[in-house]
Amino acid sequence: MSTPPVLHIRSLTKTFPGTTALDTVDLEVRDGEIHALVGQNGSGKSTLIKVLAGYHRPDPGSRILLCGEQLTHETVAAHHRLRFVHQDLGLFLELSAVDNLALRSEFLTSAGRIRWRRQTERTLELLADFAVDLDVRAPLSAATPVQRTVVAIAAALAGWDGGAGLLVLDEPTAVLPPAEATHLLEIVEGVRARGTSILYVSHRLDEVLALADRVTVLRGGKLVETRPVAGLDAGSLATLMAGDDVDAGYRADLPPADGRRVALTARGLTGRYLDGVSLEVREGEVLGIAGLPGSGATELAHVLAGTVRGAGGEVALGVGPPVPVAKAARLNLPIVPSDRLRDAILPSMSVAENLSISILDRLRSGPVLAHHRERHTVARWMADVRVKAAGATAPIATLSGGNQQKVIIARCLAREPDVLLLCDPAAGVDPAARQAIYEMVAERARVGMALIVTSADIGDLLALCTRVLVLAGGHIVRELTGPGITEHGVIRAMEETELT
């Protein structure tokens, strides 16, 4: 007799006013299986996860069974054999791993006092299986992205008593560099080896192909297909997701910017990881910044934007005078941060409010906001970056990740900068939205804008950049151009320079 599936979903439907987010979707996760869930932004993945988490109530006729037990909207979120690690991780970065794990379960006390030594020992026990070197008493703000993700996974599994159950991982590697992503995939395999089934949501198709046993594809709220991963490649999987041929190997093919005017000059940049970095970027150039965690690559864009406290150095736009980076926030040098949910989106506000907040001074008529001017400006930018939404007044929280990212990019472009900073520009978006963002960046470069791209996803650098600077130990150690900008070339440059 075959083992029943851990998760058994039948005819799952969820409608919102004016739209059907899920339309009679079936999904089955087998015992001990890593099952991938993929689809473009807006395909219904997020809605399905939110139904499982108890955030959305499914429509009548939907059935969800976990380990053979039928769940209701009231019981699904509290089921002890259903655990989640959401994309934003749900951690308090100002607190330690010890504190975060205790908040998820409970503080160990004796006579009304917290037993800190035992609490620390318990945290170390929970993290022992994940092969991660972490100071569990230090704030998680000092931890690497993969260390934070491991803490979130450990917190989700705290109190697990073994046996069948399901762990839902939502985009766990969205902003991780290759080496950390590989480490996390090994951790996921280890979790499965302990007997836990995993529903793995990701836009990184190479991960899906390497990790999952089977994959379910959603498109437009409907089930397209569930099939074994064996025999699939990234192109065919992207086609199932998009319904047409998405160019998985997009290249902007921008001409070299040699001889063009310098758009930005930075000298002597210092920070927590940067140690005297200087660089230039020219009009029409997309400059990539690559490096392993701790190299300074991730920090560089934020130092340029003036958002890193205690950073040093100077930055100048065009022929303008150099300005200390501590005052760079006054320059017209906008940044698209890597974590849009934490650092960019105003979740309680509309699409229009999120887009126009960067240019309110231009939209005023005297002391009063000119709403007709705002509506016209927002409509123009939504059309320009191809935002798909019910309307400008729709809450931004209702948009897919790809469309939220387009709104944040439009917010920056509305300032009409000569230089734009982009951190992980396609993190957590589907292949079609990724290509649209790539095309948007290339269009800006072709009309003379200079762009600086830092990304944990080397694919972003390969698709867009005319030049890539590799950082290690806070210094620029390699410059790649033309044929040298390949996946192998970038990875080799990062790893070799880190070892020297």
State how far the Cα of 315 lies from the Cα of 460, in Å rounded to an integer: 25
- Per residue in 202-259, pLDDT (tens digit) is 878 888 999 999 999 998 899 999 999 999 988 888 788 877 545 557 888 898 888 8
What does the DSSP 8-state code read for residue 32?
T
Judge whether residue 469 has pLDDT over 70: yes
Judge whether residue 421 has pLDDT over 60: yes
Name 22's bridge partners.
14
376 part of a folded domain: no
Name 198's bridge partners.
34, 167
Mean pLDDT of the region 353-357: 89
Name 75's bridge partners.
none
Which among 373, 370, 383, 371 is positioned nearest to 413, based on CA atoms?
383
Number of domains in the chain: 2
Residue finishing a domain among 185, 214, 242: 242
The parent domain of residue 482 ranges over 262-333+417-499
Q: Please report the beta strands in 133-231, taking only residues with DSSP state E, as ranges in sequence order.
A: 166-170, 197-201, 214-219, 222-228
Mean pLDDT of the region 390-405: 89
**Same domain as 169, residue 315:** no
**For the CA atoms of 461, 421, 280, 276, what is the dihedral angle to 10 degrees?**
-100
pLDDT grade for 499, boundaries at 50, 70 and 90: very low
Q: What is the pLDDT of residue 8?
A: 94
**Same domain as 287, residue 142:** no
| CATH code, 88 | 3.40.50.300
**Same domain as 217, residue 279:** no
Judge whether residue 441 has pLDDT over 70: yes
More confident residue, 307 or 250: 307
State how far the Cα of 122 lies from the Cα of 131, in Å rounded to an integer: 16
SS3 79: coil
Residue finishing a domain among 208, 242, 276: 242
Which among 186, 227, 189, 232 is positioned nearest to 209, based on CA atoms?
232
**Same domain as 219, residue 82:** yes
For the beta carbon of residue 365, count every other beta carbon within 10 angstroms. 10
Q: Checking phi first, is residue 375 left (phi over 0); if not, alpha (psi -120 to 50) or beta?
A: alpha
Judge whether residue 194 has pLDDT over 60: yes
Structure tokens at 377: 């400006």
Alpha helices in 370-425 (DSSP H): 371-384, 401-413
Q: What is the pLDDT of residue 30?
A: 93
**Same domain as 166, residue 33:** yes
- DSSP letter string, 174-194: TT--HHHHHHHHHHHHHHHHT
User: What is the chain's length?
Assistant: 500
Q: What is the pLDDT of residue 245?
A: 45
**Same domain as 72, residue 35:** yes
Q: What is the pLDDT of residue 277?
A: 96
Mean pLDDT of the region 48-69: 89
State how far the Cα of 271 lies from the Cα of 441, in Å rounded to an integer: 28
Mean pLDDT of the region 164-176: 82
pLDDT grade for 18, boundaries at 50, 70 and 90: low
pLDDT grade for 495, boundaries at 50, 70 and 90: low
More confident residue, 82 or 246: 82
- Lowest mean per-residue pLDDT among 182-186, 290-294, 390-394: 290-294
**Same domain as 204, residue 56:** yes
Residue finishing a domain among 242, 271, 297: 242
365 part of a folded domain: no
Give the mean pLDDT of the chain.
Answer: 86
State how far the Cα of 130 lies from the Cα of 34, in Å rounded to an integer: 18
User: Tokens 């998009």, residue?
Assistant: 242
What does the DSSP 8-state code read for residue 258?
T
State how far the Cα of 10 lies from the Cα of 104, in Å rounded to an integer: 31
pLDDT grade for 1, boundaries at 50, 70 and 90: very low
Q: What is the pLDDT of residue 41?
A: 66
368 part of a folded domain: no
Beta carbons of 209 and 234 less than 8 angstroms apart: yes
Q: What is the pLDDT of residue 350?
A: 92
Q: What is the pLDDT of residue 106?
A: 67
**Same domain as 191, residue 329:** no
- Lowest mean per-residue pLDDT among 192-206, 306-320, 459-473: 192-206
Judge whether residue 370 has pLDDT over 70: no
Q: What global pTM score does this model have?
A: 0.63
Name 350's bridge partners.
395
Q: What is the pLDDT of residue 244?
A: 58
SS3 476: strand
More confident residue, 322 or 359: 322
More confident residue, 346 or 497: 346
State how far the Cα of 486 lies from the Cα of 288, in Å rounded to an integer: 12
Beta carbons of 199 and 37 less than 8 angstroms apart: yes
State how far the Cα of 267 lies from the Cα of 394, in Å rounded to an integer: 43
**Same domain as 32, residue 143:** yes
Q: What is the pLDDT of residue 439?
A: 93
For the beta carbon of residue 131, count every other beta carbon within 10 angstroms. 11
Beta carbons of 226 and 199 less than 8 angstroms apart: no
Identify the burial level of 499 via C-beta atoms within 10 angstroms of its C-beta, where 0-12 means exposed, 13-18 middle and 19 or more buried.
exposed
Which among 447, 415, 438, 473 is positioned nearest to 288, based on CA atoms?
438
329 part of a folded domain: yes
Judge whether residue 175 has pLDDT over 70: no
Beta carbons of 207 and 186 less than 8 angstroms apart: no
